[in-house]
Amino acid sequence: MTSAAEQDRVLIFDTTLRDGEQSPGATMTQSEKLEIAQLLDEMGVDIIEAGFPIASEGDFEAVAAVARLAERAVICGLARANLADIDRCWEAVRHARRPRIHTFIGTSPLHREITRLDPEGMLAQIHRTVSHARNLCDNIQWSPMDATRTERDYLCRVVEAAIRAGATTINVPDTVGYTVPRESAAIIAMLRERVPGAGDVVFATHCHNDLGMATANALAAVDAGARQIECTINGLGERAGNTALEEVVMALKVRNDLMPYRTGVDATRIMKASRLVATVSGFPVQFNKAIVGKNAFAHESGIHQDGVLKNAATFEIMRPEDIGLAATNLVMGKHSGRAALRAKLRELGYELADNQLNDVFVRFKSLADRKKEVYDDDLVALVQDSVVQGAGEHLLLRRLRVVCGTEGPQTAELTLRVAGEDRQVTATGDGPVDATFRAVKMLFPHAARLQLYQVHAVTEGTDAQATVSVRLEEEGKIVTGQAADTDTVVASAKAYLAALNNLIVRRAKTRPEGFAV
């Protein structure tokens, strides 16, 4: 357990790259994972759960690459309760300066039925697997999956078995988002009180948001003595998601009077992390999302606007700059140079390498030629677009020309680079987007079904950039793609291709059996 001086320190365990990536459609490429991991490491996240190494070759490589990259954070990989999973996990995380193996088994009656282990058999399995993990690594996290629906006496017994076998962190997952704050606190208090050896381990809380209480449940667990919160950026995760990192970090800051705990996270990097994860996962942040939603600091009513102008504290419990959000303003024009762009992007939280900056600069100049006013949000869309388009190289848009209007049929002439070779086609359709998507399908035949097609204007005005999101489904695999352009049809084509590039990555991945939630 932490020393007395550290009693107020809560560890932040980010699982965006593992539980977050399990959101249907949120598959990320290795380079995207590395970019997120680098940011999490820089912003002071204590533990990064980088993936599930046995899930696929791609997952294994990504965890190993994150392990090699991290400077400060502990790098953790997930493993089921069997020796092969644990060995594979260790193979991936052992490259880290500070590795951790996280192994789990479903302990509730429903899960015991699935694994066909009786209570005693499961205790033996826990002992065998945790001891094996501990022989490989001295930092072991163990989780009784579905802990909140596990009989309390049995929960104490499995936790005791894991501690005896060498676990150093005990995580208590509310796997199906079933618990409520007072129960979440009571479970942690009970384990700390009843389990022998509880004083030697860190207790963690892992909450899902099915009833909208993930953040409240995590904070209640901390009040009862948990000192590690498992969370994800933007609350990404299975079903309704996980506890949102930005919510717990800011709640502990803003209400430190009632919750006297601190994290090591630099909150001014939150906005950047939120934007990056939204882009690479293809899950846009809902406008009214706490902390990072577009409207979180927007004041619409006259009374509120007046109050905020006189004294921001009237209607704001935190300042936009506390999470790294610069005030929206008119920033740049077509005469702005590279240095000004670099400075502005730095202010927005983006530190770009020279080649990335060059790419964004070319796009910025082209945008400034087409659009009178370039806002912060336009620049964010440009940077994110460049991140996404750089991610998958198999399909690349070379040229698109559409004919549309009242006299049909709408036509799309498309040149696509497919695996390094340019191919061209003309297709007609019911509208310019339909014609474009048909053309893509002719050049790259596939069976994926379009599940969602969404267009958002980045700023106001008819010359605004459009951000397009596309979600595709193929044999149960769901992938998304996003892109921005002042031309909505071009943005649509790029988003469709981004989704297909993700599908190509995803086809190589399979989820292991026995991981039902």
Contacting positions for Zn ion (CB under 5 A): 19
Give whole-number Cα distances, 332 to 344, 350, 365, 457, 483, in Å: 9, 16, 10, 19, 21
- Between 143 and 410, name the residue whose CB sits nearer to ligand KIV: 143
173: left (phi over 0), alpha (psi -120 to 50) or beta: beta
Nearest to 273 by CA among 20, 1, 76: 20
Q: Of these partners, Zn ion, ligand KIV, none, which one is at the site of residue 465 (CB under 5 to 8 Å by kind)?
A: none
User: CB–CB of 323/292 below 8 Å?
Assistant: yes
- Between 143 and 384, name the residue whose CB sits nearer to Zn ion: 143
- Between 237 and 324, name the residue whose CB sits nearer to ligand KIV: 237
Q: Of these partners, ligand KIV, Zn ion, none, which one is at the site of residue 292 (CB under 5 to 8 Å by kind)?
A: none
What span, in angstroms and rounded, lies between the C-alpha atoms of 363 and 168?
A: 49
At closest approach, how far in Å is the CB of 238 from Zn ion? 6
Q: Of these partners, Zn ion, ligand KIV, none, which one is at the site of residue 143 (CB under 5 to 8 Å by kind)?
A: ligand KIV
Q: Of these partners, ligand KIV, Zn ion, none, which one is at the site of residue 112 (CB under 5 to 8 Å by kind)?
A: none
- Between 150 and 469, name the residue whose CB sits nearer to ligand KIV: 150
Q: Of these partners, ligand KIV, Zn ion, none, which one is at the site of residue 145 (CB under 5 to 8 Å by kind)?
A: ligand KIV
- Between 452 and 517, name the residue whose CB sits nearer to ligand KIV: 517
Nearest to 101 by CA among 125, 131, 79, 82: 79
At closest approach, how far in Å is the CB of 25 from ligand KIV? 18
- Between 19 and 485, name the residue whose CB sits nearer to Zn ion: 19
At closest approach, how far in Å is the CB of 72 from Zn ion? 24
At closest approach, how far in Å is the CB of 364 from ligand KIV? 40
- Between 204 and 341, name the residue whose CB sits nearer to ligand KIV: 204
Q: Of these partners, ligand KIV, Zn ion, none, which one is at the site of residue 209 (CB under 5 to 8 Å by kind)?
A: none
At closest approach, how far in Å is the CB of 242 from ligand KIV? 8
Residues contacting 351, CB < 8 A, separation 6+: 345
Which DSSP category does 184 fall into? H
At closest approach, how far in Å is the CB of 18 from Zn ion? 8
User: CB–CB of 242/15 below 8 Å?
Assistant: yes
Q: Of these partners, Zn ion, ligand KIV, none, which one is at the site of residue 392 (CB under 5 to 8 Å by kind)?
A: none
Name the one residue in this structure whose structure tokens are 């690459």: 65
Q: Of these partners, Zn ion, ligand KIV, none, which one is at the site of residue 504 (CB under 5 to 8 Å by kind)?
A: none
**Closest-CB residue for Zn ion?**
19
What span, in angstroms and rounded, lies between the C-alpha atoms of 120 and 32?
A: 43
Q: Of these partners, Zn ion, ligand KIV, none, which one is at the site of residue 1 (CB under 5 to 8 Å by kind)?
A: none
Which DSSP category does 210 fall into? T
Which DSSP category does 313 fall into? G
Question: Rounded to 10 degrees, what is the CA torsion of 102, 134, 145, 475?
Answer: 50
Alpha helix ranges (H) inside 195-337: 214-223, 245-254, 270-281, 302-310
Q: Of these partners, Zn ion, ligand KIV, none, which one is at the site of residue 410 (CB under 5 to 8 Å by kind)?
A: none
Give whole-number Cα distances, 163 to 59, 156, 196, 271, in Å: 28, 11, 8, 38
At closest approach, how far in Å is the CB of 512 from ligand KIV? 12
- Between 87 and 210, name the residue whose CB sits nearer to ligand KIV: 210
At closest approach, how far in Å is the CB of 208 from Zn ion? 6
At closest approach, how far in Å is the CB of 230 from Zn ion? 8
- Between 284 and 514, name the residue whose CB sits nearer to ligand KIV: 514
Q: Of these partners, Zn ion, ligand KIV, none, which one is at the site of residue 59 (CB under 5 to 8 Å by kind)?
A: none
Burial of 323 (0-12, 13-18, 19+ CB in 10 A): buried
Angle of helix 152-165 relative to helix 119-136, nearest 10 degrees, comes to 30
Binding site for ligand KIV (CB under 6 A): 19, 104, 143, 145, 171, 173, 175, 206, 208, 517
- Between 170 and 250, name the residue whose CB sits nearer to ligand KIV: 170
At closest approach, how far in Å is the CB of 77 from ligand KIV? 12
Phi, psi of 404 (to 5 degrees): -145, 175
- Between 36 and 498, name the residue whose CB sits nearer to Zn ion: 36
What span, in angstroms and rounded, lies between the C-alpha atoms of 476 and 394?
A: 22
What span, in angstroms and rounded, lies between the C-alpha atoms of 197 and 194?
A: 9
Burial of 406 (0-12, 13-18, 19+ CB in 10 A): exposed
User: CB–CB of 24/472 below 8 Å?
Assistant: no
At closest approach, how far in Å is the CB of 46 from ligand KIV? 17
- Between 104 and 496, name the residue whose CB sits nearer to ligand KIV: 104
Q: Of these partners, ligand KIV, Zn ion, none, which one is at the site of residue 104 (CB under 5 to 8 Å by kind)?
A: ligand KIV
At closest approach, how far in Å is the CB of 9 from ligand KIV? 22
What span, in angstroms and rounded, lies between the C-alpha atoms of 467 and 480?
A: 13
